[in-house]
Amino acid sequence: MKFPKPYTLKQIAEIINTPYVGTDDFPVLGMNEIHVVEPGDIVFVDHPKYYDKALNSAATIVLINKEVACPDGKALLISDDPFRDFNKLTQHFKPFKSANQSISDSAKIGKNTIIQPNCFIGHNVEIGDDCLIHPNVIIYDDTIIGNKVTIHAGTVLGASAFYYKKRPEGFDQLISGGRVVVKDHVHIGALCTIDRGVTGDTIIGEGSKLDNQIQIGHDTVIGKKCLIASQVGIAGCVIIEDEVTIWGQVGSTSAITIGAKAVVHAQAGISKSLEGGKTYWGRPAQEAKAELKDKVYIKKIPEIIEQLKRK
């Protein structure tokens, strides 16, 4: 998430009331999660396991809960609770704005686009030309939709990320300030849910087709011309490259990559990254040929046992 204008380190520190290491005028351009940070961004870290990763990332401002040596060319914001203060920044730069009508005055809707009754179109939404939005579709603030997109009834674009920190009093949610971006020629079926990015974008690539009842997690990027069948659940921060086919009821863990032109058969469980150009099956998902070969061997076990008994 980029800020509307450049800020200084001092200004950011005043917003969250934290000490800092660096010059007062050190430039701050935005805030992002570790996997999408760029120079000028703030990244937060609150666990020793990830200190080095954050300090050595592309981010030039690190919101951290320990006084450490500041890397050259970077700045630190020292906080007793980086998770809380990252949320404060999101609330400051992306505050929730309530709606008082079904289609916000700030929404931009293209030529020949049809929006059926009972839809909600939030603030700063952009919908391109020749789109068809069926009844009861909910499109949260800041969502971007390209040209010639079809979205079927009951789908929700832009709900919050499923991202929580466990505290003694319960779970604390990381506030989502990102977007959903749907490219041209995408088809989204009925009752799908696509969560917004925490600070970046959840992206559905050009020409991809989603069946009914699919869940796409925050900051996931789906490539071009992908086919995803009904009841698939994709976790957050997944990269699905171009022309991937995923059949029904497949589930994936977070922060993995599914390579281009991979095919994943129904009910597979994806627990790690998958190489492109191959077919997968099973739980955990593995190459279908290997899985089928194993099943053949398993079926031969009774025969082998009988042979051993005869000896």
SS (H, E, C) the chain: CEEEEEEEHHHHHHHHCCCEECCCCCEEEEECCHHHCCCCEEEEECCHHHHHHHHCCCCCEEEECCCCCCCCCCEEEECCCHHHHHHHHHHHHCCCCCCCCCECCCCEECCCCEECCCCEECCCCEECCCCEECCCCEECCCCEECCCCEECCCCEEEECCCCEEEECCEEEECCCCCEEEECCCCEECCCCEEECCCCCEEEECCCCEECCCCEECCCCEECCCCEECCCCEECCCCEECCCCEECCCCEECCCCEECCCCEECCCCEECCCECCCCEEECCCCEEHHHHHHHHHHHHCHHHHHHHHHHC
**Which among 154, 135, 157 is positioned nearest to 146, based on CA atoms?**
157
* pTM of the complete model: 0.92
Q: What is the mean pLDDT of the chain?
A: 96
| pLDDT grade for 303, boundaries at 50, 70 and 90 | confident
| pLDDT grade for 305, boundaries at 50, 70 and 90 | confident
2-93 and 108-291 in the same fold? no
Instruction: Considering the candidates 134, 185, 218, 265, report the single residue annotated as catalytic.
Output: 218
Residue with tokens 């730069």: 93
What's residue 297's pLDDT? Answer: 73
What's residue 180's pLDDT? Answer: 98
Domain boundaries, the chain: 2-93, 108-291
| pLDDT grade for 89, boundaries at 50, 70 and 90 | very high
Lowest mean pLDDT among 32-36, 103-107, 150-154, 158-162: 32-36
pLDDT tens-digit readout, 121-135:
999 999 999 999 999
Residues 217-225, mean pLDDT to the nearest whole number: 98
| Residue 218 appears among annotated catalytic residues | yes
The number of beta carbons lying within 10 Å of the beta carbon of residue 271 is 14
**Which tokens is 174 given?**
């990381």
Q: Residue 284: is the preceding peptide bond cis (ω within 30°)? A: yes
Q: Does residue 270 contact residue 217 with C-beta atoms inside 8 Å?
A: no
What's residue 4's pLDDT? Answer: 94
Its CATH class, for the domain covering 108-291, is mainly beta
| pLDDT grade for 96, boundaries at 50, 70 and 90 | very high
- Homologous superfamily of 2-93: MurE/MurF, N-terminal domain (3.40.1390.10)
In angstroms, the Cα distances linking 258 to 20, 164, 242, 264, 311 are: 40, 25, 9, 9, 48
**Which tokens is 306 given?**
């009988």
Distance of alpha carbon 308 from alpha carbon 311, whole angstroms: 5
Distance of alpha carbon 117 from alpha carbon 236, whole angstroms: 31
Amino acid, res. 41: D
What's residue 153's pLDDT? Answer: 98
What's residue 274's pLDDT? Answer: 98
pLDDT tens-digit readout, 237-283:
999 999 999 999 999 999 999 999 999 999 999 999 999 999 999 99
128 contact partners, CB below 8 Å, separation of at least 6: 110, 113, 145, 146, 147, 148, 149, 184
Q: Does residue 144 contact residue 126 with C-beta atoms inside 8 Å?
A: yes
With 90 as the cut, is the pLDDT of residue 306 above it?
no
What's residue 308's pLDDT? Answer: 80
**Which tokens is 215 given?**
């869940």
Distance of alpha carbon 10 from alpha carbon 3, whole angstroms: 15
